[in-house]
Chain A
Amino acid sequence: MYKSSKELTRRNLLKNAAVVGATVTLGTTLKPVLRAFARTGRADYEVQGEWRPTTCQGCTSWCSKQVYVVDGRAIKVRGNPNSKVNGAASCPRAHMSLQQVYDPDRVKSPMRRTNPKKGRNEDPKFVPITWDEALNTIADKIMELRKNNETHKYLLLRGRYSYMRDIIYSRMTKIIGSPNNISHSAICAEAEKFGPYYTEGEWTYRQYDILNTRYIILWGADPLAANRQVSYYMSRWGDALDRAQVAVVDPRLSATAAKASEWLPVKPGEDGALACAMAHEILVQGLWNRDFVGDFIDGTNRFAAGKTISESDFEEKYTYGLVKWWNIELKDKTPEWAAAKTGLPAEQIRRVAIGYGKAGPHAISWVARGPVMQVRGAYASLACHALNGLIGSVDNVGGTLKANKEYTQSFPSEKKFLDEIAQAGIKHKKIDHRGRLEFPALNAGKSGGGVVTNNAADGILNEDPNEIRVAIGYMNNFAFSCTQSERWFKALSKIPFSVHITTNASETTWFADIVLPSNHHMFEKWGYVKSFANGYRHVTMNQPVIKPLWDVRTDETEIPWLIAEKLAERGFDNLLRHYREYKDPETGKIPTNEKEFALYALKHATHKLWDPAEYQGGDKFNGWEDFRKTGVWNSDPYPFRKRWGSMKTKTKQFEFYSETLKEALAKHAEKHAKSIDDVLAACNYEARGEKAFVPHYEEPYMYGNKDGLVFVDYKSRLNREGRSANCLWYQELKDHDPGDEAWDDVAKINPVDAARLGVKTGDRIRLLSPTGELECTAKLWEGTRPGTIAKCYGQGHWAYGEIAASEFGKVPRGGNNNDIIPADYERLSGSSAFFGVVRVKIVKV
C-alpha cells in the first residue's frame, strides 16, 4: 500500500522540510514536500553489476542459477556454474523469468474483493488494502472456525513450492486444526512414480545416466523441452546422441523426437502394449541381463511365444517374479499382437526392442507423464519401467538412477502445539476422498497415502465429507491447471472466504476474497529446493537477489508468520510459539519478525550442508555466508549398483511380480472389507486375479465419440508451469514449440484427417468434448499421428494479464486444454488423467 496523504504530510514535514525552504508560504494544505523520495545527499550508483546465486522454478528441473544485478535491477540470467547438476546451462524458461518479475500486471498490494458475488462472469472489483487489514481479516476468519470447533473446515491448497513448504502447508494447517492440506502432486506426475515404486521401492522420479548410455527409449518424455533437468539435457544431449540411439514413443513429433533415431507414433493409451511386446521380444531373443536378472538353470532360453515356463527352471539374482510375469502376461504379447494395438509396424517394435536389449545394461527406458497419467496408466508405468529391470540398467552405469543422498533437515515438530481443538480437527477425513475404495492413492504403499488433488473440487462442491469455509491457496491455479476446470470455478465460488497468495493474479484469484502479493521465487524469496541429474544431487537456494519493487511478502514463511502474530493477538499463540522454535543455528537467536523467521528457517533446514561442525558429505563450506554466496551444495557422486539386492520392496529385489503392490492392494481392500478384484473394478481397471500384480496391458479408457480424434495434450518448452503466458517472449517465441505459431494457440491435425474433415491451416475451429469445449486455430501438421489432434498446454488464460488473454476477463487467447479434458483419474496413484482420455469433435467456427 502507498502511504496515505495524511501520513505523508506529517512525515515529510520532518523529513524534508529543508527541500523548499521555510521562506515560501503555501496557500494550500498540501506541502510541496517529498513523498516518493528520500534524500541520499549524493549520487550513489554502481558502475559494475554482480552475479548473484538463486534458483529457477520455472519447471521442476529446479536449476541453480545466477542473476546479474546492476543498481538493484536484474538484467540477465545464467546457470550457476557451481552446480554439478545443471552447470552453466540454461533453458529458455530461465530467461523469461525476467519478464515475470517485471510484469506490470503483478499483484502489488494486498487486495480485497468488493463484489460479493463470485463466478466466472463476476468481476471481483478488487481494491487495495493494507497488509494489516488483510491479515486481521484472515485471522478473524480462522478464529471463528476455532471458536466453533470447525477447524476442519479450513483448507490449504498448495501448488508449486519450495522446501519451506511445510511451514504453511503442514505446520500451520495442523496447528490451526485441519486435515485439509491439499497439494498439487496428483496433477503433476504421481503415476510416473507408481512404476518405480512397485518394482524397486522408490516413490520418486529418476535421473538418467545419459553420458554412459547406448540406447534411450523415451515414453512421452521430451527432455529437450520439458521436465525434468531440461537445462542439463539440452546441454549434453548432443554428447549422448554421439553414443546412443534414441527412440521416442509419442503420438506427436516432440522436440526430442525431431532429433531421435526412431519415432514411434503410438496410438494414445497403447504404450503398455508396446512395452509388454518389447519385454516379450527381449526375453525371446535372450537379451535380458544375466548379472541382474539371472538365467535358466541349464542356460537354455525357454522363452518362446505362447509357451508357459516352469518357475523352477529359472534362477533369479536381483529380481523377483520374472517367470510369473512371463506366464501371466508376456508369453502372448508378441510384436505382431502389439502392432495391431499400437498402430506401429511389428518390425519397428522388434527393432527397437532388440536394439535396446543389446545395448543393456547401458540403456534407459525413460517413463514420463504421457503413458501413465491415464485412467489405466498405472500398469503402463510398471511395464515401461520394468524394461529397465530386464536389462539390468536399474542403478547401473548408463541406466536409470534414483536421487543421491542429501542432508537437509525438517523443521521442528509441531506436535506439542496441537491443542484439543486441533487434535480433534485433524482427525476428520480429507476433502479429496483419498483412501476411499475408489481412490486408493497408494503413495509408497499406503492406502490414501497420496493426494487426489482434482477431486477436492468435488469434495468442496458436495460438502463431502464437510463444507469448507476458509481456504488459502498459494502458488497454484487449480481453476486453470486441473482438468474440467469449471468445477473449480464453482467450488471456489462456493467457499465463503478464500485467500490467494500469488505473484500474478490468475483464474483462481478471480474467485478470491483477499489477494496477497507474493515474492517472485527466483528473485525475491528465501527458500531451497533439491534436484538431481548428471549423477549428482544439488540443494540450491532461492535468494532475494533484488529488493522487491512492490509490497510483497514470502508465501511460505513471512505470510504464515504474520498470520501467526495476528492469531496470537487474538489469544491463540500456538502457531507463533511454534514458529519461534526456528532459531538461528549460528547465534541461537529466536526470530522476532517475519524476515528473521524466513532466514532462520532456511538456515535451520540447510544447517548440515553449511556448518563444518555438522558436515555429513558432499560439498563442504566454511559457514552460512560461504554457502549463501555459492548458492548450491552438491552431493557425493552416485554410488552405482549399491541397491542391487537391497531394494525397498517386500522381497528386497526388483519385482516383476510385485509383492509390494499385492500387499498394498490387499491392505486397501481389507480396509473396505472388499476383495482386490473389487478394488480394481472400483478403479476402472480390467485386470482381475494375479494380473493385478504384474505389469500388463490394459485397454485405454476414453471419453467421447469413437469417430472423434484422440486429444493429445503436452507441454511447451516455454511454460513456466503455466505461469508464463503473460510474458511477451512466450507469445513471440511460441513457434519454437514444434508445429506451433507465435501469438496463437494451434491444434495440430494430420493432413489426412484434415482433408477428411475439410479443415485447413488457419481455420478457426472448436474442439468439443463430452465435458467442455474450446476455440483455437487449426494447423495441418504431419507431426501429429493420424487419428489424434495435438495441442500444447499453456494458452487459454482469460484472467492472467494483458498479454495472456485475447480480451482480458472475457476472451482467452486460444483455449485451455483442461476445459475439454474430463475429470477422471488414475486411481491407484490418485493422479488426474490428462492423456489418452478423451476424443474430441471438431467443428469449424
Chain B
Amino acid sequence: MESKEFLSREEHRRDTYKLLSECYYSPDEGLLNTLRESDTSRGSLYSEISKNSPTTNNVESLKIDYAKLFLGPYKLLAPPYGSVYLENARRVMGDSTMDIWYTYAEEGLRVDLKEAPDHIAIELEFMCFLISKEIEAALNSDSINTTRYLRKQKDFLENHLAIWVLEFTDTVEANAETEFYKHLARLTRSFIKKDLKRLSES
C-alpha cells in the first residue's frame, strides 16, 4: 500500500486534469455548478479557477467566447485540436490524431463523443484516466502497474499533450475576451508544465 500522502497527491493530480478537461467543454449550467461546488481546499488551481468562474448571468458571453475560441463556426481563434499544432496543415484527423486514437484503443477506450480524439478536453481526460489506473494499481499494492501507468502519463505528455499545449494556451490567452478563459489557459499551461517536470523527475 502506497503512502496516504502519495495517494492524496495523485488524486489531486487526477482531479485537476478532470476539472481542466471539464472547463474545455461548451460552458453551461452544469459547468457553473461544478465550479461553484468545487472544493477549493484541494489546491490552488481549484481556488484559482473558482475565483474567475462565471456567474449565471454572464454564461452567454462565456458561450460566445467559447464558440469563437474553440467551436466555431468560422475561424477558430484557438483550435483545440492537437493536429492543428503538430502537423502544420490546419486540419483535424491527421496522423498525430490517429496516433492518439491508437493510444486510447490500447487502453481499451474509444471516444464516445462527437469530437476528434485529440481535442484538448479529451486529452486532459485521458490523463485523468491514466492517473486513475495508477491509483487503482497503487491501492492494490501493484507497483509494476503503478510505475507502468506513471510511465504512460509521462509518455503521453511528452508525445502529445505537452508538445502543443503551450502554443495552444498562449493562443487562448491572447485571443480570449473573457477573464475565465484567459485564466484557464494560464492555469492549464503552468499545471502541465509542472506536472511534466514532476513526472520527469520521479
Contacts and interface: CB of A to CB of B under 8 A. Distances in A.
23 contacts: A5-B34, A21-B135, A21-B136, A28-B38, A29-B33, A30-B38, A32-B128, A36-B21, A36-B119, A36-B125, A37-B109, A38-B109, A43-B107, A45-B102, A103-B92, A105-B73, A108-B72, A125-B64, A127-B67, A128-B66, A509-B73, A515-B73, A550-B114
B74 A800 contact: yes
Interface string B94-132: 100110011011111111111110010110011011001
Interface string B139-164: 10000000000000000000000000
Contacts of B110: 37-38, 40
Given A26-B11, A728-B90, A108 B121 contact: no
B30 A6 contact: yes
B22 A5 contact: yes
Contacts of A517: 73
A128 B71 contact: yes
A40 B105 contact: yes
Given A1-B26, A29-B38, A43-B106, A128 B15 contact: no
Interface string A526-546: 000000000000000000000
B81 interface: yes
Contacts of A32: 14-15, 18, 128, 132
B91 A504 contact: no
A34 interface: yes
B132 A4 contact: no
Contacts of B41: 27
B166 interface: no
A127 B33 contact: no
A32 B116 CA distance: 21
B26 A2 contact: yes
Contacts of B113: 2-3, 35-36
Contacts of B15: 26, 28, 30, 32
Contact of A127 (B18, B60, B106, B139): B60
Nearest to B124: A36
Interface in A97-131: 99, 102-109, 111, 114, 125-128
B90 A549 contact: no
A29 B139 CA distance: 22
A805 interface: yes
Nearest to A25: B11
B28 interface: yes
B105 A114 contact: no
Nearest to B132: A20
A71 B31 CA distance: 32
Interface string B1-33: 000000000010011001101100110111101
A71 B67 CA distance: 29
Interface string B34-64: 1001110110001000000000000010011
Interface residues of A, number: 68
A464 interface: no
Interface of A: 1-9, 19-21, 23-24, 26-30, 32, 34-45, 71, 73-74, 99, 102-109, 111, 114, 125-128, 504-505, 509, 515, 517, 548-551, 728, 799-803, 805, 808-809
Contacts of A26: 11, 15
A696 B93 CA distance: 56
Nearest to B102: A45
B172 interface: no
A26 B46 CA distance: 14
B75 interface: yes
A810 to B, nearest CB: 11
A397 B31 CA distance: 69
The 4 A-B pairs with the shortest beta carbon distances in the complex, nearest first, are: A5-B30, A505-B73, A38-B112, A4-B30
Interface string B66-96: 1100011111100101001000011111100
Contacts of B38: 28-30
Contact of A548 (B46, B114, B119, B126): B114
B39 A105 contact: no
A353 B93 CA distance: 54
A27 B39 contact: yes
A319 B109 CA distance: 71
Contacts of A4: 28-31
Contacts of A1: 26
Contact of B33 (A5, A105, A803): A5
Contacts of A5: 22, 25, 28, 30-31, 33-34
Contacts of B81: 104
Contacts of B119: 36
Contacts of B67: 111, 126-128
Contacts of A549: 92-93, 114-116
A657 to B, nearest CB: 54
Contacts of B75: 105, 801-802, 805, 808-809
Contact of A39 (B72, B91, B109): B109
Contacts of B115: 2, 36, 549-550
B91 A102 contact: yes
A43 B72 contact: no
Contacts of B128: 32
Contact of A802 (B34, B63, B76, B121): B76
Contacts of B33: 5-6, 29
Contact of B73 (A8, A73, A74, A111): A111
B64 A29 contact: no
Given A1-B26, A35-B21, A128-B63, A28 B73 contact: no
Nearest to A1: B26
Contact of A20 (B60, B126, B136): B136
A799 B63 CA distance: 20
B105 A44 contact: yes
Contact of A30 (B19, B63, B71, B107): B19
A211 B124 CA distance: 59
A114 B64 contact: yes
Given A40-B108, A505-B74, A509-B73, A71 B90 contact: no
Given A5-B34, A20-B132, A114 B60 contact: yes
Given A30-B15, A505-B73, A728 B89 contact: yes
A114 B126 CA distance: 34
Nearest to A127: B63
Contacts of A8: 30
Contacts of B102: 43, 45
B136 A27 contact: no
Contacts of A9: 30
Contact of B139 (A21, A39, A551, A805): A21
Nearest to B125: A36
Nearest to B24: A2
